[in-house]
A and B are shown apart, each in its own frame.
Chain A
Amino acid sequence: MPKWGMAVDLDTCTGCGACVTACHAENNISTVGPEQAARGRAKHWLRVERYWEGEFPDVRLKFRPVMCQQCDAAPCEPVCPTYASHHTEEGLNAQVYNRCIGTRYCANACPYNTRFFDFFNPAWDKPLQLQLNPDVSLREVGVMEKCTFCVQRIKATQIQAAAESREIKDGDIQTACAQSCPSKALVFGDLSDPESHVSRLARSGRGSKLLEDLGTFPNVNYLNRQVEA
């Protein structure tokens, strides 16, 4: 049984935001317009957090792409009254849009603030609706949505591999963000396979987890920047 996880190399991340755009395109996430975005309604399933360090002129920028950490002990799961947020056997935190009644408790419980609410029905200016991904459902107003580790790509590859009676190799499944990262900072793979790229990165000495002391057991490993000599 695979256990999906990601590794994010904070050293190679340039903060370009290609991953964010790719995620929007892959998962049919609508933009909300400048006014609503200013009111905090933007739905960036994956966002690049930008922090400034130091005083001018020794200022440095740090980028941290944050998406749903698919926690093993996710605090968003026990609080959902309709089991819309639950854990799959492959280690993903699944969000079932059809069960969601929009209590938004899961979003309050998420320490990473990676869960988003649909405040309005999504809308795309013509002809952008032609670009929508048919593998991903559109969410109506009132449901919660979040990063799924591109579960549609996982499922599609698994079905294809089963149909062709072959095993899935490391690198066969790529999330949209990992696929579009120009510096290969985002890596997706099977954490239960010790030889996969993501497992090896997780075992490296640079790996750490975000907000680990909260007891959420997240599955995204952040590789710290190399210390300069």
Chain B
Amino acid sequence: MKAVYALFPNGQSAQEGVNRLRGAGLADRDITILSSQPMEDFEFGHIDKKNYMWWLACGGALVGMASAYGLTVLTETSWPINVGALPVYAWWPNLIIIFELTLLGAILTTVVTLLITASLPGRGERLYDPAVTHGQILVGVENPASESVAAYETALGAAPGAVVKKI
């Protein structure tokens, strides 16, 4: 069996479904929850929130800053050319280049981090039901142990408005 899940019409019933699955002994990361919008107003919308994205973005900014500094200092001192009596390594204009590449580093790092941590592009067959984008919230278990399937079905079915499915 690939998955057992239920479609809920709103956040409250989805929250009940999640709580019942937890009662059936599942850890949070084993419960699959799919919605067509971020459900920040419900507790289940906050699962697996901890991340280091801001730190990684700062790291990317530092990498950008270092590359820009390296680019300017290495190229300007290796090929020193006099323009308008400005110094060979002109601080003020190089700060502009350094600023831009710092922010570009932060932006690109954030995008790469997002793609990796959100598992985009998605690989392989994962549980999905097009009803999600029609407004339903999917709560279920992927690859459940065959002896627990009945328990999950009962747990999911007990929440109001649930439509239980198995694939």
Contacts and interface: CB of A to CB of B under 8 A. Distances in A.
Interface string B76-87: 000001111110
A78 B81 contact: no
A77 interface: yes
Contacts of B86: 77-78
A86 B85 contact: no
A74 B85 CA distance: 7
B81 A74 contact: no
Contacts of B85: 72-74, 87, 217
A75 B81 contact: no
B163 to A, nearest CB: 63
Interface in A192-228: 217
A193 to B, nearest CB: 21
A73 B84 CA distance: 4
Contact of B81 (A72, A76, A83, A217): A83
A85 interface: yes
A86 B85 CA distance: 10
Contacts of B82: 77, 86-89
Range class of the B interface residue count = under 10
A83 B83 contact: yes
A80 interface: yes
Contacts of B93: 78
Nearest to A216: B84
Interface string A68-109: 000011111110100101111100000000000000000000
Contacts of A73: 84-85
Contacts of A80: 83
A156 B40 CA distance: 78
Nearest to B86: A78
A222 B152 CA distance: 97
Residue among A75, A80, A87 having the largest count of chain B Cβ atoms under 10 Å: A87
B90 to A, nearest CB: 8
B84 A75 contact: yes
A37 B85 CA distance: 34
Contacts of A78: 83-84, 86, 93
Interface in B11-38: none
Nearest to A87: B82
A217 B82 CA distance: 15
Contacts of A217: 85
Nearest to B93: A78
A164 B100 CA distance: 54
Interface string B82-116: 11111000000100000000000000000000000
Contact of B84 (A77, A88, A89): A77
Interface in A82-139: 83, 85-89
A95 to B, nearest CB: 12
B1 to A, nearest CB: 64
A209 to B, nearest CB: 16
Contacts of B83: 74, 77-78, 80, 83, 85-87
Interface of B: 81-86, 93
25 contacts: A72-B85, A73-B84, A73-B85, A74-B83, A74-B84, A74-B85, A75-B84, A76-B84, A77-B82, A77-B83, A77-B84, A77-B86, A78-B84, A78-B86, A78-B93, A85-B83, A86-B82, A86-B83, A87-B82, A87-B83, A87-B84, A87-B85, A88-B82, A89-B82, A217-B85
Q: Which 8 A-B pairs have the closest CB atoms?
A: A77-B83, A77-B84, A87-B82, A78-B84, A73-B85, A78-B83, A86-B81, A86-B83
Given A78-B86, A87-B83, 6 more contacts: A72-B85, A74-B84, A75-B84, A78-B84, A87-B82, A87-B85
